Structure 1
Amino acid sequence: MKSATAGSGVPPGPPKLAPKPGSVKVMRALYKYVAQYPDELSFQEGDILYVIDQVSDPNWWKARCGNQTGLIPSNYVGDQVEEVQTPLHEAARRGNLNFMQECLSQGVSGTGLDHAGNTPLYWACHAGHVDCVKELLMLPNPAVNAQNKIGDTPLHSAASKGHLAVVELLLENGADSSIRNKDGDTAENLSMNSAITNCIQQKRANFMQQRPSSYSLEDYEDDSD
């Protein structure tokens, strides 16, 4: 433990960490802490900390604050603010790109569903976090048209919330504007933003123009002779 070797001059090795984050506890720092070793994390009193691992060492937890990850003394944090069972979804919803990237790098599914059937992409689109949307759209098979339990897609959510830049990204990456939710509404129906409505309509018009005709030149030849 760090406390047992603090006076020896030999920094302890990092604890064995869990291979993948499961649930994540969101906690608030009670005191300021300045890192003493490279594997530790500095933070200020009142900072929100995402605690990833409490099991490897009960005295030194692995946590994230801002875009930094490291070990923190467990007695420097208070009661948890909340427990997050789907950390990637939560990172996408909050716009925490760095933590989202860490979850992905540790093998968390980028297309997993939460209790409501939403993907991380849905939450990033719902909140309008463009950087997070771009990151998730770079994944193989990003489930851009996945529908949740009420039938909404990421495009439904972005359109209803007025996030034009997100709508444009989704349409550029294969979002289907014809999908209807369980109320029978398309994303266009849910939009209150004329720019978004125009964007969806223009994309549909472009698609119709580019779609090959089902007729060939021979169909128009006069074979009455």
Structure 2
Amino acid sequence: MSSMMAAGSRRMLVPLRPRALSQQRKILAGLAAAFAVTLLSVVLLISSLPAASSPPSRRRHGIHAASTTARGPPAHCGAMSASLGEFGDMMVSMLPRDLAFTAFVASPESFRRVLGLRHNDSAAGLKASDDTYAVVSRVLGFSAVPLRLRSGDVALHGTARLLDLDSVSGLKVHAWRDVDGALVVNGVRSECVDIVRDETVVHVMAGVLMDAEFERSLSLQN
């Protein structure tokens, strides 16, 4: 009796195997197809990333190229590489030649317009020369920071946190780089940048860096 039941169960199980295998093959085929579609989607996504990120990079390089070719440095920057003007040269000469500094030096016109210093002041006598030296040395304290900082080291405005520095006199110096390549330091734009004097990097500014107290003293004198 038992042998008959075993034989019957074998006869019942045998027809189910091909059907089960067929279902398994269909499931595996479906999984393989889904995996292939997913893998293809990932590959397409990865391959599209460089194309999506390259336009901003080209725009940044385009801005940099425009700043150096379309506008370029003013014509007098070449001359300033040799001479910063009487008071600019005086200011830089006060810095140690073998130590790293960055000096945001006022242009000759800014020395005249803002500080009232003119070429004849240093040759007008001992009293005038002493006063001129005192003013220039005071401005140097606001304008020099104890590190070498080229314009390319400063982030473009709006792309990163502004650069915060302390001058040798303790004035807070906030710097960023404009899209045309000019530096803007405490609201004062540069006229020429990256002039190297020994270990000092000089940026010629269209204004004078100073604190509120010194600015008030100038207004009282005027």
What range describes the TM-score normalised by the shorter chain of this pair?
A: under 0.3
Q: Which has the higher contact order (CA 8 A, sep 6+)?
A: 2
What's the TM-score, normalizing by structure 2? 0.20
| Larger radius of gyration between Structure 1 and Structure 2 | 2
More helix as a share of residues: 2
What's the TM-score, normalizing by structure 1? 0.20
